[in-house]
Amino acid sequence: MSSNIKPSATLPSCSTALNVAAVAFDMDGLMFDTEAVYDKAASTLLGRRGFKYTDKLRDEIMGRPPEYCFRRMVETYSLKESWRELGRENEEIFVELLKDGYATTPGLLELFDELDRRGIPRCVCTSSKRFVADEVLKKHDVRKRLDFVLTSEDVVNGKPNPEVYLKAAERFGVSPLSMLVLEDSAAGCAAATSAGSPCCMLRAYHNVRVDFSLALVVVERLDAPELLSLLGGD
């Protein structure tokens, strides 16, 4: 699938009733507060090398695929390791930190129940690697409630490129315009809107400096009335 595909239709306004045929979830920071775990992992990774993980770097790499994130670390701190070496070490730290527990985003399970009631299929489109996604999605057996999961290993071009959301819509067999995307990063929102999909953004502590102007609606929990109303019907 070409990464240069442009939206074929104009995105609806927040007052427009959507014909939602499927829902695509981002994972980290959207479904679970794993951004806090990533912060700890990155701080540990860089701390071992005598550096501090800054808010500026975090804002820049949020929602991006692993290669971009760790290349930026190498460049920012003039590290001797390759981005792949950093990525493997960070993955080990992250998975170990998951054992300490991580919070579920308020309203996630209630939204899943509502999607079940309406018979709306859903997937995850994450910039994480598949092994990491599998570990995170074990919580509450969330993986069993998803139709499929797309990771950074399933695309050539990561977010903000629209490839992952175009692939998701294709796999659902629906138009991107009828696939509601739930995101928490600027890169993710850009990917969704570039694919032609309406995007609902979750506002949380980790993205207070992010520009959400491309979002159709912004909510603070996943069962917010503003989000549920986008699903249409009763």
The pLDDT confidence band at residue 8, using thresholds 50, 70 and 90, is: very low
Closest listed residue to residue 216, CA positions, set 204, 226, 206, 205: 226
pLDDT tens, residue by residue, 125-162: 999 999 999 999 999 999 999 999 999 999 999 999 99
CA distance linking residue 106 with residue 131, whole number of Å: 25
pLDDT tens, residue by residue, 45-101: 999 999 999 999 998 998 899 999 999 999 999 999 999 999 999 999 999 999 999
pLDDT tens, residue by residue, 28-51: 999 999 988 999 999 999 999 999
> Known catalytic residues?
26
Domains in the chain with CATH codes: 22-33+103-231 (3.40.50.1000), 35-98 (1.10.150.240)
Higher pLDDT, 8 or 170: 170
CA distance linking residue 125 with residue 25, whole number of Å: 6
pLDDT at 5: 33
